[in-house]
Amino acid sequence: MGFTMTRAFGLIVVGDEILSGKRADKHMAKVIELLAARGLQLGWAEYVGDEPTRITAALMRAFASGDIVFSTGGIGATPDDHTRQCAAQALRVPLALHPEAEALIRERMQDTAAEQGVPYEPDRPDNIHRLNMGVFPQGASIIRNPYNKIPGFSVEHVHFVPGFPVMAWPMIESVLDTRYTDLFTRNAIAEKSVIVFGAMEATLTPLMQAIEQAHAGIKVFSLPSVDHPQYGRHIELGVKGDPDRLDAAYGQLIEGLHSFDARLGPELVR
């Protein structure tokens, strides 16, 4: 399947601990940062608990979307880890021990035994169980884990990494830098906005629609606030998108705001 610029980057964060509030999600902010450093944007994100039916449904949507998706969490081998199994179910393929993953997991077990000063026992039940972390949907490729060698995996353009940030973030970065460099565009998205006082969003909507219709590759955004510590009640109204088309769209925005006799505050450029 070839790339088109309509393909989005998506993020699925798996784990009851996120939804219960036991842990705060750090992945979305970091993925936004990693993408932005490469001139890319996150198109959507989804949170799902450790419930196999919901995980499978989320992954079916991800595979069907054609988007480039990162899924974090649930790829271990404890009873509350379901992502590997759900990925296979979503794809309707069997699970299989990946040979390269097996080699890496065995290497990690040998390293651990050496660190503890004990002999490596490959057939010990707990070591056999650890190999389940390399059981992936058939046809998967591995994502190397620089932290402890226990790999993640990719199927098509959906990429599965652990929930631990120290592992997940370098793995996501590696996937971006090895598979998607052709999509990198520095400063591909520019943004310019202005603080507007004393105006209503409903009144400004026709102006916003006219700008989007007149300027392909530009989106208009409106961020109202009622209790901003600096500006108080206001709307941040702006345009974002293709840098080459931004100034013309912003000029139309400012001209339109003057026709409404709106009171304008500072301009913001990002």
Phi, psi of 41 (to 5 degrees): -130, 150
4, part of any domain: no
For the chain, the straight-line distance linking the first and the last C-alpha, in angstroms and rounded, comes to 34
- Region 65-71: mean pLDDT is 97
- Counting the structural domains of the chain, the total is 2
8 Å CB contact between 196 and 265: yes
Residues 77 and 138 in one domain: yes
Band of pLDDT at residue 2, cut at 50, 70 and 90: very low
What is the extent of the structural domain holding 150? 9-183
8 Å CB contact between 44 and 58: no
Tell me the CATH number at 257. Answer: 3.30.70.2860
Specify which of 8-12, 33-37, 240-244 reaches the highest per-range mean pLDDT: 8-12
> What sections of 117-242 are H helices per DSSP?
125-130, 165-179, 201-214
138, part of any domain: yes
28, part of any domain: yes
What's CA 233's distance to the chain center, in Å?
32
Q: pLDDT over 90 for what percent of the chain?
A: 79
CA distance 206 to 198: 17
8 Å CB contact between 12 and 58: yes
pLDDT digits (tens, 9 = 90+) for 81-139: 999 999 999 999 999 999 999 999 999 999 999 999 999 998 999 999 999 999 999 99
Identify which has the larger pLDDT, 117 or 2. 117
The pLDDT assigned to 20 comes to 95
Sorted by sequence, the CB contacts under 8 Å of residue 2 that are 6+ apart come out as none
pLDDT digits (tens, 9 = 90+) for 208-263: 999 999 999 899 999 999 888 888 889 999 999 888 889 999 999 999 998 887 88
CA distance 150 to 145: 6
Residues 174 and 255 in one domain: no
Residues 213 and 252 in one domain: yes
88, part of any domain: yes
Tell me the CATH number at 110. Answer: 3.40.980.10
pLDDT digits (tens, 9 = 90+) for 151-174: 999 999 999 999 999 999 999 999
List 269's β-bridge partners, or say none: 192
Q: Is the pLDDT of residue 270 over 90?
A: no
- The residue among 183, 212, 229 that closes a domain is 183
Residues 126 and 206 in one domain: no
- The residue among 156, 183, 210 that closes a domain is 183
Residues 165 and 46 in one domain: yes
Copy the structure tokens of residue 116.
């503890």
CA distance 179 to 199: 46
Residues 15 and 59 in one domain: yes
8 Å CB contact between 86 and 52: yes
Q: Is the pLDDT of residue 186 over 90?
A: no
User: Token match 């999600």: residue?
Assistant: 25
206, part of any domain: yes
